[in-house]
A and B are shown apart, each in its own frame.
Chain A
Amino acid sequence: MDIGVALSVAGVAMAVLLGGIGSAWGVAIAAEAAGGVMTEDPEKFGRLLVMVALPGTQGFYGFLGGFYIMMKIGLLAGAQAVSPMAGLQLLFAALPVGMTGLISGIYQGKASAAAIYLIAKRPEEMGKAIILPAMVETYAVIGLLASILIVSGIKL
């Protein structure tokens, strides 16, 4: 194992960690709101579950970005040699998906909570409610895309 691999692994960790934290945070915000609504109306569980799950995707994007780096350096098959500079590049490549995931996850959670209150009052507007939080997610998708494009462009 050399420093290049270590840096790449740091990149993997960064992507997975930040995305995961963002999602956990966001899902918790949405789940709190859903719990509150369900004290009045437990029948809405199914609908609310969908809304609570919405900020959960950032965690996957982070994992995905991390996994893409792992595949790049063949980590699952015993890691090929990575130059220190390439390792550093892979570490930076993890930042777009990690940071956008962290922050958009939290804010998507807030948007989901607002949408949950919408459903509490007007359950028939589920369709509209589900679209609003997805607006926030766009930027996590773009972060993931940027990370993937950067990783696929890096020469080891």
Chain B
Amino acid sequence: MSIVEMQKVHIVSTKENKDAILKTLRDSAVLDIQAGNWGLGAGAETDLDYRLAELKSAITFLEAAEARKKSFIESFLPAREETTAKELNKVCQDFDCRLMLQNTKNLDERLANLKNLTNELHNKLTLLAPWQSLKTKLNDLNNTEKIRVALGSIKTKGLESFRQALDQASKATTLTLASQTKESTFIIITFLTTEAAKIEKLMAASEFNPITLPLLDNTAKAETASLNNLLKETKEDLDELHKKAKRQAQNLKQLKFIYDNLLEQKHELEVKQKLANTNYAFVIEGWIKKSDLEKLRNKLGQATEVLAIEPAKDEKPPVILSNPKVLAPFELITQIYGSPQPTEFDPSVPLSFFFALFFGLCLGDFGYGLALSLVSLYFLKRYKLPAGGTKLFQLLMLGGGTAMIVGLLTGAYFGFSPAEIPVPFLKTIQIIDPIKNPLTMLVFSLALGVVQILFGILLQMALHIRNKEYLQAILDDGIWFVFLSSLVLLIVASALSLPIAGVASKLSLAGAAGLILTQGRHKKTIIQKFLSGLLSLYKVSGYMGDTLSYSRLLALGMSSTIIGSVINILAGMVKGSGPVIGIILMVVLLVFGHLFNLIISTLSAFVHSTRLQMVEFFSKFYEGGGREFRPYKRVAEYTTIK
């Protein structure tokens, strides 16, 4: 359970060895390279960023064209192409990437143009659709010197009154129907220019909505037919281009290889910037595990000097956590919060027991625990997960295990209680039913909180002792520990009327006195010392709040069990709805209901157990904010090298 000891090194060699050494370092991935106090060198001018962006957009386009259905899991875990360094290099040398990119770009542009054209045609067709019945050519529907023509739509239910109003206003005005739907009617009005003001006023009053058609030497019907022809041709072109794009997508693999190759080139340039160079030699500065030092020396050979360097006083080495295999998954929680400072403990081990227990209590069902463990196991075996993903599923598997134990003890099997299952043995191992005795479970949850908080204070004390800060260890952590634990003892003793209540109350008074006397020791005057000592007692309320926060263990455990039992009750109800359909409905409801509850409850269990570690537990002893060890190694987005 610890943080691995690191060594700062300088690797010195002559210039001509640079590339070979960097390659060795990259392939062995043991050195976290940093810029020394010589600072970052000037970056070389390259077009790598531009070329990467170009490749990326081509890959995105072709992936869309390929239209391969991606599974939901793939959105978390993009599948990577496995290859060898040799094959990758061969592809990068042989494949004509320029031509391919140019073709893809052309295709992309032409597709976009055709899509725009299609939209345009659709718009025109929609515009012409209501005027199909017109026998006149569209450019004849124009104003003349004496006569005006107005095309437009009007609400169908207002049509009659509009017609009457026109009739009354002028004998020389005609109204022609072009087409009619339930809502609107498309009409053409012709009227004398001299009467325009009067008629236009009427039109406005009846919410006449003017429409302008293109002035074509054609009827609407004929125009529609030719537009439809054009649309058909465009669609054929589009299909052709899609097919072409799909064919090009066969080269996706090569493009991805080249992308990763360029990405690595860029990475190498960035690393080279961190080196110090002279005319003939260069220096790499970095951190390495102490245990890896000799191995690296052997690998790099005689011509290269690997010097162990004493770090500067305020310099912090990067952090690697190292724990036994069973406990390693819990490092995930630590890493989410932030790696420890080199001067701190790795909290992964102390939190492991609590996290597993809390997760089990929150999920709290044998069936769900079993399902979660099996699913996690499947993922671990079936998929090649990144390091964080592996830890997550191992964590879920362990949490599923504790949930099974909790489920056995509290009698929860997919929401069923032992009374509903014909296995009498299950009844005998049940020690509590949280739904019937929520208070007992509440006290148990709070007790767990008390234990974890006191444990946190002890850890702080151990840390102070390790760092030789004995005064703080005794005056801060020691007295607080005595005070809080005697307070707890006092509460328990008076609740159960135990005889030790008297001792506990004296002890807690002594603790309080100790706090008042010591907590203000940094202040200047006696009065300030006393006052801030007194004020420090207020921190008790903080500890109380922390403890109450553990009540969520009860609430979440109950929620998963009760939702499970509700699903079972509902399933029992639909069973009676018909001879065959009832059974089908019941099975569907059971499967989807429990699956849903499993997902929601697992999410809650994970999030809230994590929170209890981070907020209530870490606040007692852990700071975090250390720099994670990031060795120089190959970066890639699409490929892995065997």
Residues of A within 8 A of B (CB): 43-47, 50, 53-54, 56-57, 60-61, 63-64, 67-68, 76, 127-128, 130-131, 134-135, 137-138, 141-142, 144-145, 148-149, 152
Minimal Cβ-Cβ distance residue in B for A151: B438
On chain B, the number of residues with a Cβ less than 8 Å from chain A's Cβ atoms is: 33
Inter-chain contacts of A135 with B (CB < 8 A)? 611, 615
Q: Are A131 and B559 in contact (CB under 8 A)?
A: no
Tell me whether B263 is interfacial, beta carbon within 8 Å: no
Partner among B332, B439, B563, B607 whose Cβ is within 8 Å of the Cβ of A131: B607
Q: Are B607 and A130 in contact (CB under 8 A)?
A: yes
In this complex, the member of B72, B337, B438 whose beta carbon has the largest number of chain A beta carbons within 10 angstroms is B438
Cα distance A152–B316 in the bound complex, in angstroms: 55
Inter-chain contacts of A60 with B (CB < 8 A)? 559, 563, 600
Inter-chain contacts of A53 with B (CB < 8 A)? 600, 603
Q: Are A57 and B604 in contact (CB under 8 A)?
A: yes
Partner among B75, B551, B562, B610 whose Cβ is within 8 Å of the Cβ of A67: B562
Q: Are B600 and A68 in contact (CB under 8 A)?
A: no
Tell me whether B336 is interfacial, beta carbon within 8 Å: yes
Q: Are A134 and B607 in contact (CB under 8 A)?
A: yes
Cα distance A23–B400 in the bound complex, in angstroms: 27
Tell me whether B566 is interfacial, beta carbon within 8 Å: yes
Tell me whether B52 is interfacial, beta carbon within 8 Å: no
Cα distance A129–B142 in the bound complex, in angstroms: 64
Q: Are B569 and A46 in contact (CB under 8 A)?
A: no
Q: Are A145 and B611 in contact (CB under 8 A)?
A: no
Tell me whether B549 is interfacial, beta carbon within 8 Å: yes
In this complex, the member of B78, B337, B551, B569 whose beta carbon has the largest number of chain A beta carbons within 10 angstroms is B551
Once A46-B76, A53-B603 are accepted as A-B contacts, the answer to whether A141 and B552 lie under 8 Å apart by CB is yes
Minimal Cβ-Cβ distance residue in A for B608: A134
Q: Are A138 and B552 in contact (CB under 8 A)?
A: yes
The 10 closest A-B pairs by CB, nearest first: A127-B336, A46-B75, A134-B607, A145-B555, A141-B552, A46-B76, A141-B555, A144-B555, A64-B559, A145-B551
Starting from the known contacts A76-B569, A128-B336, 12 additional A-B residue pairs (CB-CB under 8 Å) come to A45-B75, A46-B75, A50-B603, A60-B559, A64-B563, A138-B552, A141-B551, A142-B548, A142-B551, A145-B442, A145-B552, A149-B438
Q: Are A61 and B559 in contact (CB under 8 A)?
A: yes
27 interchain pairs, CB-CB under 8 A: A44-B75, A45-B75, A46-B72, A53-B600, A57-B600, A60-B559, A61-B559, A64-B562, A67-B566, A76-B569, A127-B332, A131-B336, A131-B614, A134-B610, A137-B607, A137-B608, A138-B552, A138-B611, A142-B548, A145-B442, A145-B552, A145-B555, A148-B438, A148-B558, A149-B439, A152-B438, A152-B439
Tell me whether B199 is interfacial, beta carbon within 8 Å: no
Inter-chain contacts of A138 with B (CB < 8 A)? 549, 552, 611
Cα distance A43–B337 in the bound complex, in angstroms: 25
Interface mask (B604-642 → A, CB under 8 Å = 1, otherwise 0) = 100110110011000000000000000000000000000
Inter-chain contacts of A63 with B (CB < 8 A)? 563, 566
